[in-house]
Amino acid sequence: MRVFFDVDDTIITWDVRLRPGVKEVFARLRADGHDLYLWSGNGRRWEIVRRFDLHEHVLDCFWKPLYRHHERLAELGVPFAPDYVIDDHQEVVDAFPGVRIAPPAHPLEQDRELWRVYEAIRAHAAGADADADG
């Protein structure tokens, strides 16, 4: 699947720390055969790819539509619709298949959300309906 991750409060914290499990889960998803992309309402976040050395995992970065999500993909230069999205905002998860992620936990070291997301993606890819209630 083409899996699109939001950036702020999804893979990084408000103070720009990488959430626990991001690299491990990205590596597993790629090993499972998925293509990973970042998208953000704040633009193409290559600075995050660079800062956390995510180049080997992330194929491309896109602008994320914040409304009329499907209609605006072309306008924003997103060449295909995501098969699955991970986002801390419910509207995105309502617009596309996906799972809502809770904002980073405190203390950050105890944040296990990325692993829950991994299981949700795996279940969805297997054709099961993952629990997206979070």
By the 10 Å C-beta count (0-12 exposed, 13-18 middle, 19+ buried), 74 is classed as exposed
Euclidean distance between CA atoms 22 and 52, whole angstroms: 10
- Name the residue nearer to Mg ion (CB basis): 9 or 35: 9
Selected binder of Mg ion within 3, 4, 8, 36 (CB under 5 A): 8
- Name the residue nearer to Mg ion (CB basis): 32 or 91: 91
- Name the residue nearer to Mg ion (CB basis): 8 or 111: 8
Euclidean distance between CA atoms 112 and 129, whole angstroms: 21
Residues 27-46 that bind Mg ion (CB under 5 A): none
Confirm or reject binding of residue 88 to Mg ion (CB under 5 A). yes
Selected binder of Mg ion within 6, 48, 104, 118 (CB under 5 A): 6
- Name the residue nearer to Mg ion (CB basis): 12 or 128: 12
The closest of 8, 11, 58 to 30, measured between CA atoms, is 58
Contacts of 13 (CB under 8 A, 6+ apart): 19, 104, 108
Residues that bind Mg ion (CB under 5 A): 6, 8-9, 88
